[in-house]
Each structure stands twice: as C-alpha cells, then as structure tokens.
Amino acid sequence: MLDSDRRVRGGRRRRGRLRGGRRREDRGSECRSQNDEREQYRPGATHPLPPLVGPSRRSTARSTALQRPFALIWRAYRPTDECIRLRIPDNFESGLRYLWIREIQTSADWSIDVVTSDRRDGPGFRVSRRRALTVGGAAALSVLSARGLSVATSSANRSDDRPERGAPGDDADPIRRVHDAGVTGSGVRVAVLDPTGFDPTHAALAGAVADIRQFGAERAVVDRTTHGTAAAASVARLAPDARVLLASFRTPEEFVAAIDWCRTGDVDVVLAPVAAHGTAATPQSDVYRATRRAIDSGTVVVAPTGNAALGHWRGPYAALAGDGPDSRRRLRITALSAADSLSGRFLAWLVTNPSLGVDLTLALLRAVDGGERWNLVAVSQPVASRAGQRLVADLSDAEYALVVRPAGRTSSFSPSAERDSAAGTGRVEVTTPTHALSPARPLGSIAAPASVPGVVGVGVTETDRDAAPPGHATATASDAALPDPVSPYSGRGPTPQGGVGVDVVAPPRPWVADGRPGTSAAAARAAGVAALLRGIDPALSPRDVTEVLRRSAGDLGRSGRDLSSGWGRLDVVAAVQRVRAR
C-alpha cells in the first residue's frame, strides 16, 4: 500500500506525525541531500536516489537481493503532469518486490509509473501505478514482479505479481480508485475454503495470511499455485489490508467443520469457491444448516454459482427413461467449446426426486456402428454424504450419451410401464461440470452452497469490460459502465427453494492460476468487495452487504433481476460509494 504510515509487527500502525502536524523524518534515511537536509525536490529536476533499502512488510523472499544497490533516478515533472517516473537500468533485479522512496517532498498527489529500458522483454514492462501522498516522510511503491508485461502509459496499469488469466486487459483503474480513497479492507478477516490447498508463500499472499487450517486428510499447504491460492490471491488483490485465513477440506462433513471454524473465529467474510454438484441444498442437509448458521451469526458467505449451465438437465424422469430406439431419450455429450476436446475425464452427477419410489442410476453409453447400437461404458455409484450419484469415466474421441435407468438393469430397452409409473411425479437432475449436454437446460444449474438462501451467489461474465488495448485508458465512470453478457456456462437459478439464486455476476479477474477461470474467480472478486464494504462499516449485516452489492450492480439483459445475471454486474466503485454515503 502507498500509505504514509508504516506498519510494524503485530499489524499495528506507527503513525508518522509529530506535534504540530509535522511528519516524522526517517532517522535511517540515506536520501537526504548532502548539501541541505531540508531541500525540496523541484518539479522538472532530476535527482539521484541512493541505494534503496527494505523490504516492506509484504516481501518475504529474496531479502538479500533487496539489499543490493540499484542506480535509480527519479524525475518529478510539473504538477500538471501528475507523474513521478522511475527509470530503471538494464541490470534491474527482477526479484525486487518493494522499493522505499524516502524524503520525496511535494504538495502534489502524484501518480507513479515504473518502466525499464531493458529491451530483452520487448519495449519494457509496466508495474503498478498508484497514487501516493508524498508530503515528506516515507512512501512505499509496490512493484510486484511484472516481468513480461508491455509498456503502458494509461491509467490502468497492473499491480499483480503475474499476468492474470481469463481475459486480456486490465481492471486496475476502478480498484485503484477505491484503494486511493483509503478503502483497503483494513481490520477485516476473510476466510477462503478450498479443497485444492494453498501456497502461502505466493507473492500475492505475502504478509496477508493470518491462519491456515486443515480439515481432514486434504493438505492445506502445497507448493504450487492452486485453485485455492488463486482465490485467496484475488481477495488480497481487492482488499490488500484484510487478513486472510485459509482452510482445506474435501468432504461435506469437513466443509461443515471448516465453516463452523469460521463462524466461531470472528471471520467477517467467507469465500467458498466450490460447487458441490450432487448435493441437495435443502434445509435438511448439513451443508445447508452449517452455512445458515454462519450467516445468522453475522458472517458474509460468498460462493460461485458453478460452471455447469451447459452441462445441466432437469426434467421428468419419463423424458430420459430407457435407451431404446428413441434418441430423444438420450443426452448427447459434447465438448464445452469448439476449442475443447471431448477426450478426457468425464464427471457427472444424478440427483433424483425421492417421490419416484425407485432407485435410479445414470448410464454412460458409447455409440457403435454409427449409432446403430450403444454399448454400456459406466454407471453412476452412490456417494456417502451426497444426495446424488456420481459417474466418472475417461472418454476417447467417440460419440457418447447419457440415459437414466432403474438400478441393476443392464438391458438396452426400458418398458414403457417403468416410465409411466413415475411420469408426472418424479423428476431427475443430471449435471456435468466437465462437458456439455445436448440438449441442455441451464435453468436451475446453480450449485450449493451458492443456492443456500442468504449466500451471495456470483456468476461470471463472458467478457471483461475492463479490458483495454495497451496504451489505452479504460472507462472510468463506473465498473459497470458497459454491459457484458453472462457466460453460457455460468450457473443459473432458480434454487430448489424457488429463489433467484444469482445475486450478481462479475468478470473472472484477477486470477493467477493456470487454466480457464470461471465463476470461482468471479466469486473471489465479489468476496474482496464484501471485505471492502465490511472495512468501511463493520456493522453491516450479511443481508446489508448483499443488498449493497445488488443495488449497486449494473443491470444486464432484461430490465430488472433475472435468473442468469441476478441484479446485474458487480460494480466495485458504486458499492463502495453506496456504503460511504450511508
């Protein structure tokens, strides 16, 4: 952060003011002029900086490298230019994370750019440009390892430690505006619950992690950038002064234990970037009850709506019963997009209505002889603590389909009597997050825990409004200034209880992990915004936070709320302004 106050151990701030309003001088500063300690740097002049020392509180690696001297020169342009530019020589140490700029004395509110003349990575690279009040004292400039990014002089430069996934371009401008206003999530505790584990040494999490817990056998600490690491990093990016708690789990029972730990641990916001397909979010389920306990105790719970809208089908059992000559009773399996392959691991869930009165299974079939015959490949199996059954198989480059059968039957035709006995009363739900189904029925594809009433359910937009070509500024009026379509795979409402389910949608940024970001990235963004709101007003209830996110969102599609985008596109700036105006 670019604060004139420096953090000390324990998270407390050491104020940099003395009596009379003067700022405390850094006794160890080597940046004073040799001729006049009170000399002010003149706009338009060039002044040498001595070796920079540090690191800051968020830098835990390469401390030796940080002590190495660098021949840097900074230039202060006229106040109308609002720019301080650090030009870094070709031998710049790329591992440097934070620089301390001392004794910069000016009355302007400066914007800071860092560029390099090293041509090996193209014309240079850009790093974070934030605004800092540098009226004497010390200010910290965050560099965060930006090797490989192109030079840009727009108002939308990156501050992440690596290129974000999901969409080209940048969304730093609205987030930076919020941080510049002093809204950083200070004093807020955010827990991230994820089954993939976390790398707490990741640069984006350095100095932000307050606690790590492991529930069950799933390792909480790993040495790679996992899905959980990326989710936690996104929260830290949005709310850089929030304290982040990390917890791993695998089973629904472990999730319940983890969220109960958050409830009793004075956590303000819980991010659960998971989609528990095959789990019925009914008031009788343990996941439902544990999530509601957390919300009722004052914890904001944020979760993605899931990525299975294209792989979702829900309807009467009679529509899928049997696999005879009627091809309309089969769900064809396709790739999620033209760029994806059908081959690979296939995962599907079957959830049935208890009123059917018959045990059903989901059967995977493979076409032979051009579809004249269908061979059985695999059937679903019950899973402990889940309401549904799971089917797992490895697909090759062939034609596949799904059908629903009574348990234990292996013949290829289902008598009509079986269908008639359940027609009109029993319904089944088939969901695959790995592939698409044809035909698909996206409505109702929202997954638990987002489908639990009171949870902030977050979908994902197809494109990123904040993206802009290098060298071009992004829109500045609002984070929802331009409408974006909802991604076709983003989970839709309604919930099993008939609610909308989707509260807001958001772009899948920032995201530092490999692979395609989805609703988890969007939910992480929303959780970061929730932390900012709680930082402004700790008295906000979970319902208050949800209402602020809804009312400040930019409407998408049809006027008003809908089952795809909820109340609209998440607007960081508008949400913060709404709370500050309360």
Per-residue pLDDT reduced to its tens digit, 234-253 = 999 999 999 999 999 999 99
CATH for 349: 2.60.120
* CA–CA distances in Å: residue 501 to residues 292, 449, 518: 15, 10, 17
14 lies in the same domain as 138: yes
Among 395, 419, 438, the domain-final residue is 438
Q: Is residue 125 part of a domain?
A: yes
Q: Is residue 568 part of a domain?
A: yes
- The predicted structure's pLDDT at residue 47: 38
Q: How confident is the model at residue 341 (pLDDT cuts 50, 70, 90)?
A: confident
- The predicted structure's pLDDT at residue 171: 62
Instruction: Please tell me whether residue 524 adopts helix, strand or coil conformation.
Output: helix
Mean pLDDT of 308-335: 82
pLDDT at 537 over 90: yes
Q: Is residue 162 part of a domain?
A: no
482 lies in the same domain as 403: no
Cis peptide before 510 (omega within 30 of 0): yes
385 lies in the same domain as 490: no
Contact 388, 436 (CB under 8 A): no
Among 423, 438, 453, the domain-final residue is 438
576 lies in the same domain as 454: yes
Mean pLDDT of 516-535: 96
Tokens at 480, concatenated: 């929802």
Q: Is residue 81 part of a domain?
A: yes
Q: Is residue 405 part of a domain?
A: yes
Give me the torsion for CA of 84, 90, 93, 97, rounded to 10°: 20
508 lies in the same domain as 408: no
Pairing status of strand 46-49 against strand 138-142: unpaired
Q: How confident is the model at residue 345 (pLDDT cuts 50, 70, 90)?
A: very high
CATH for 292: 3.40.50.200
275 lies in the same domain as 342: no
298 lies in the same domain as 196: yes
Q: How confident is the model at residue 85 (pLDDT cuts 50, 70, 90)?
A: very low
195 lies in the same domain as 301: yes
499 lies in the same domain as 390: no
pLDDT at 60 over 90: no
Among 438, 466, 488, the domain-final residue is 438
Domain count, the chain: 3
Q: Is residue 121 part of a domain?
A: yes
Q: Is residue 163 part of a domain?
A: no
pLDDT at 384 over 80: no
31 lies in the same domain as 138: yes
Residues present in the chain in total:
582
For residue range 276-294, what is the model confidence (pLDDT) as tens digits?
988 877 888 899 999 999 9
Spell out the SS3 assignment of 223-243: CCCCHHHHHHHHHHHHCCCCE
Mean pLDDT of 293-297: 98
Is pLDDT larger for residue 433 or for residue 217?
433
Mean pLDDT of 96-123: 35
Q: What is the mean pLDDT of the chain?
A: 72
For residue range 448-507, what is the model confidence (pLDDT) as tens digits?
999 999 999 999 998 544 433 233 233 333 444 444 489 999 999 999 889 999 999 999
Q: Which of 488, 512, 139, 517 is nearest to 338 (CA)?
A: 488
pLDDT at 322 over 90: no
- The predicted structure's pLDDT at residue 582: 85
For residue range 259-279, what is the model confidence (pLDDT) as tens digits?
999 999 999 999 999 999 888
Residues in CB range of 161: below 8 A, 6 or more apart: 144, 145, 146, 202, 203, 204, 512
252 lies in the same domain as 303: yes
* CA–CA distances in Å: residue 229 to residues 40, 203, 206, 233, 235: 44, 10, 12, 6, 10
* CA–CA distances in Å: residue 84 to residues 74, 100, 153: 7, 14, 12
Q: Is residue 159 part of a domain?
A: no
State the residue range of the domain holding 560: 189-308+445-580
434 lies in the same domain as 462: no
- The predicted structure's pLDDT at residue 120: 34
- The predicted structure's pLDDT at residue 144: 23
Spatial strand order in the sheet of 360-368: 373-379, 360-368, 400-406, 331-334, 436-438
Of 131-145, 288-302, 427-441, the poorest mean pLDDT is in 131-145
